[in-house]
């Protein structure tokens, strides 16, 4: 597989105004350009990353992040880790479900537990917690209920 620097150059030659950065072992893509970059990585014959193995939501206190792990079954290559960042208040990231159907449930999980909203998701609702649950338990500032609280505080 190509190195991250080469992938970065390939993306930027296709989309001149996209500012992709390499951080450690992953690519960081701005969320405004993520749909285009995803389509490029999915369809370009040199990459054809046709398998999305995981979508992970992370809370970094200052911002939220979505980590995608991409593989190519066709070329037997991967993984390529792509990170997309968004703000904490209204964490909005475009959904990649149209490109990889496996993203549907995983994006619901990231929405449920971290509170990242995926724009264009066909059915964005809670997947693990119950519908009446009001918080996002994997956020750093989530406070658990006290199951042992006295009866008068019910």
Partner 1 sequence: MGTATNISQIDEGLRSELQKKGIFVSSLEDLYNWGRRSSIWPLQFGLACCAIEMIATACARYDIDRFGAGLFRPSPRQADLMIVAGTVTKKMAPQVVRLYNQMAEPKYCITMGACSISGGPFKDGYNVLKGIDRYIPVDVHLPGCPPRPEALLHGLMKLQQKIDSQEIEKTAWYQKGLKREFPVPEFGPNGLNPPYNPEVFTPEQHREITVG
Q: Which positions lie near partner 1, rule CB under 8 A?
A: 128-135, 137, 142, 144-151, 154
Among candidates 67, 141, 151, 152, which has minimal Cα distance to 110?
Answer: 67
Q: What count of other Cβ atoms lies within 10 Å of the Cβ of residue 61?
A: 9
Closest approach, Cβ 134 to partner 1, in A, equals 4
Q: Of the two residues 61 and 149, which places its CB atom closer to partner 1 in the complex?
A: 149
51: tokens are 């398998």
- For residues 4 and 12, the answer to whether their CB atoms sit within 8 Å is no
Give the three-class secondary structure for 41: helix
139: tokens are 């956020």
Closest approach, Cβ 130 to partner 1, in A, equals 4
Q: Of the two residues 16 and 147, which places its CB atom closer to partner 1 in the complex?
A: 147
Closest approach, Cβ 55 to partner 1, in A, equals 20
Q: Of the two residues 24 and 150, which places its CB atom closer to partner 1 in the complex?
A: 150
Q: Of the two residues 16 and 130, which places its CB atom closer to partner 1 in the complex?
A: 130
Cα–Cα dist 46/56, whole Å: 25
Cα–Cα dist 41/94, whole Å: 15
Closest approach, Cβ 150 to partner 1, in A, equals 8
- For residues 60 and 66, the answer to whether their CB atoms sit within 8 Å is no
Closest approach, Cβ 97 to partner 1, in A, equals 25
Q: Of the two residues 5 and 131, which places its CB atom closer to partner 1 in the complex?
A: 131
């Amino acid at each position: 597989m190509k190195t991250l620097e080469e992938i970065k150059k390939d993306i930027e030659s296709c989309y001149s105004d996209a500012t992709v950065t390499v951080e450690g072992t992953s690519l960081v893509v701005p969320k405004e350009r993520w749909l285009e970059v995803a389509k490029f990585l999915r369809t370009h014959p040199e990459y054809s990353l046709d398998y999305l193995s995981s979508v992970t939501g992370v809370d970094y206190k200052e911002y939220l992040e979505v980590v995608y792990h991409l593989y190519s079954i066709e070329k037997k290559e991967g993984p390529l880790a792509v990170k997309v960042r968004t703000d904490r208040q209204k964490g909005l990231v475009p959904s990649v479900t149209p490109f990889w159907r496996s993203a549907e449930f995983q994006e619901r999980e990231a929405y449920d537990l971290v509170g990242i909203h995926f724009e264009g998701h066909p059915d964005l609702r809670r997947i693990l917690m119950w519908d009446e649950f009001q918080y996002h338990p994997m956020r750093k500032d989530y406070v658990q209920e006290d199951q042992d609280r006295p009866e008068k505080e019910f």
